[in-house]
Structure 1
């Protein structure tokens, strides 16, 4: 069997910086857990790449999967990788790259071709192309270059949803490029199963989960919560926002830090451990997911896998993952969200109880099913 290679650059740098894993990072870690015993690690920077020795690869994978962080060990691994660089060696295999980092550099693909390695990238979304208004300036240009370079040079592409693949197909048509071999493989929940945890908040509360950025619609939800507090006072349910502060979100930060009515009704968790996240989700009235656009929406799968109700935007990808189980609303329907939140905050609410019944038929995406699809896809490329 040909060797598998895993590009771990993003994961290693985020580990070195002490950052908690995002949804993209959790996918990368799942690939390491699956393939590490038979894989080699690749590090890259602006398209220049180096392949770690088998021994250093295993040390790197162990560091990434460890619950403790050893920055000195990471520094030494990177230094050795640079010193022991395997230049243009014919290694023969398949590269699995699960982040978007480096997709835009044609020299990266060229280096893999010289080594007889076939690059396969995962595409998480095309949001910067379809909804540039929700991204940082110039990200659309960079992402278009990533996607089009991958369309030209990748041996295969893995899409996390049919919605993402549809966007990818449309972009290939716009660029007059052929679509390389592709597969859709849904992502499993990023929450590790834990025992039932004590309730973290006595009062009823709701959870928003994800990086604070414009497309997640936090600003809208914070204004709804201000209205709830104005109407209900101290009887208003709490809102727990889990996720770090991202980009272009100054108006949200103003609400978080300066809105007097929200003080006491809002809990912000920028650095939340898996155990604490699990506890928050287990006992909340519902996960709130009012995004304008998503490529997948891992929090949706995470909540439903824990039997937690979800109030979500009416997006095609959410229907793809969860069918009719959540209660769906337009992301700008303020009265609708306000009414549903007030209802779900009540004990023994018929709407919430009905969703709890629907949740019993939720078919949770699993890593086993994901990798069965990926492995079958890779066999067609060998």
Structure 2
């Protein structure tokens, strides 16, 4: 039986982070089937050059050990960046003597600055580590699925060794946005992601995207980088994401200020995302200011943690005359509070410039909350006729949708969200496993449905 080794290293090390990719990884691992159609599925991590099977994804309640582990991780990231620097310089060196000197200097620095303290911390942490996972021996024919955000990781050399030992490598790609829209990110992240993509271009046997839109983008990018002939030797597929909020607890307390917001009779439009330039909150404010100027009483609720490059936006929100009147912002909502917001809002608004999927859209619509979104390809793939779309070139376009919905009570989409049906995280995990197996076994190609809607 083929073994699918589903990697979750970053979430294993940082289990309290709960946004974007981390939410996806945690839910896929939690719902990963033990076996599916002739494949055994195992959650794994790659730590300190060793492959482990995950026994417990949640952390142990030991603050001292956790602090030491965090310090060790930071030191190892520095060591990995130093290794990357050495690789770039080594590639640029043409003189044999210079390359030898560079190598000796690298080895000495690596040993003196990083090697000794990292080994000491690893020995201390190993005892705690073995309470959450156990060593696993890889086998030829295993398939390693890089599900987590592996551009943060330092296991590239280890994965390359696994590949030489006959393990297949499958890269999960959430999006190519740092490559296609670098203006939305810090320079360092763009560099790290670009180096990672170069690496998976050389290393991966196949690519599993989170939407058909991203799958096609990945194929096109590989064709551009290595040519159509080489790209055709790889395989490309996708799976869709689920919709449950796994950290929601019915007994938990809902944020009181959020409850107060929804207690008022006015229509509330909800925006859920990290606050960062790509999510396009400025357009959202422009649209609602247009609607308010035209007499709308609609309220806008922005929910999401504070990200990057958003200082001007935050200043605009904090100084806005409608703040806490018709404009509200929450930066640290629990899943329980978010579930409450989805249940009581009138519609979700999502004006993102570019996405790999758009998780809040399916989270909202699966709960019966209709959604308005920017008119981009991946949202059409996910939403079909169930969503209302607006033009990002004109905030008045969204303002008009808001006013029509308020005035008529009819949501401006071709189909009713009541007829919507989306897959669960269990089904999403199943898609990842079975589609990966089919591709690895080179089963007859069947045209995938463009949506994951229930028929």
Q: Mark yes or no: TM-score above 0.5.
A: yes
Report the TM-score, using the length of structure 2 for normalisation.
0.70
Pairwise mapping of residues 181-220 of structure 1 onto structure 2 (< 5 A)?
181-192=235-246, 200-202=262-264, 203-220=266-283
- Is residue 2:103 matched to residue 1:42? no
Tell me the equivalent position of 2:436: 378
Q: How many Å separate the matches in 1 of 2:381 and 2:291? A: 32
Tell me the equivalent position of 2:203: 153
Q: How many Å separate the matches in 2 of 1:6 and 1:96? A: 5
Aligned residue among 192, 195, 198 for 1:142: 192
Tell me the equivalent position of 1:225: 288
SS of aligned partner of 1:96: strand
Aligned residue among 90, 109, 131 for 2:159: 109
Any unmatched runs of 5+ in structure 1?
none
Q: Deviations over 1:277-319 (max 9, x none)?
A: 1111122121001111111111111111111111111111111
Aligned residue among 422, 427, 430 for 1:364: 422
Any unmatched runs of 5+ in structure 2?
35-40, 70-121, 442-455
Q: How many residues get paired?
A: 362
Pairwise mapping of residues 1-382 of structure 1 onto structure 2 (< 5 A)?
1-15=1-15, 18-19=16-17, 21-35=18-32, 39-44=42-47, 49-52=49-52, 54=53, 57-58=54-55, 60-61=56-57, 63=58, 71=63, 79-80=125-126, 90-92=138-140, 93-102=142-151, 106-113=156-163, 116-177=166-227, 178-179=230-231, 180-192=234-246, 200-202=262-264, 203-232=266-295, 236-346=297-407, 348-350=408-410, 352=411, 355=413, 358-380=416-438, 381=440
> 2:31–2:426: 8 Å Cα contact kept in structure 1?
no
SS of aligned partner of 2:186: coil
Q: Deviations over 1:321-354 (max 9, x none)?
A: 11121111111311111121123234x523x1x6
Q: In the superposition, relative to structure 1, how do residues 333 and 194 fare at CA in structure 2: closer, same or farther (>3 Å)?
A: farther
Which stretch of structure 1 is more off in the superposition, 148-157 or 316-325? Answer: 148-157
Q: How many Å separate the matches in 2 of 1:105 and 1:191? A: 30
> 1:158–1:182: 8 Å Cα contact kept in structure 2?
yes
Query: Bigger relative contact order, structure 1 or 2, given CA contacts below 8 A and separation 6+?
Result: 2
Q: How many Å separate the matches in 1 of 2:363 and 2:235? A: 29
Which stretch of structure 1 is more off in the superposition, 356-365 or 265-274? Answer: 356-365
Q: In the superposition, relative to structure 1, how do residues 214 and 155 fare at CA in structure 2: closer, same or farther (>3 Å)?
A: same
SS of aligned partner of 1:360: helix
- Deviation at residue 25 of structure 1 after TM alignment: 1.2
Q: How many Å separate the matches in 2 of 1:69 and 1:205? A: 39
Q: How many Å separate the matches in 2 of 1:165 and 1:81? A: 41
- Deviation at residue 104 of structure 1 after TM alignment: 8.8
Q: How many Å separate the matches in 1 of 2:358 and 2:285? A: 20
SS of aligned partner of 1:271: coil
Q: Deviations over 1:229-266 (max 9, x none)?
A: 4554xx73221111111111122111122223434222
Q: In the superposition, relative to structure 1, how do residues 308 and 40 fare at CA in structure 2: closer, same or farther (>3 Å)?
A: closer
Q: How many Å separate the matches in 2 of 1:217 and 1:362? A: 26
Which stretch of structure 1 is more off in the superposition, 146-155 or 83-92? Answer: 83-92
Which stretch of structure 1 is more off in the superposition, 28-37 or 298-307? Answer: 28-37
> 1:200–1:279: 8 Å Cα contact kept in structure 2?
no
- Deviation at residue 33 of structure 1 after TM alignment: 1.4
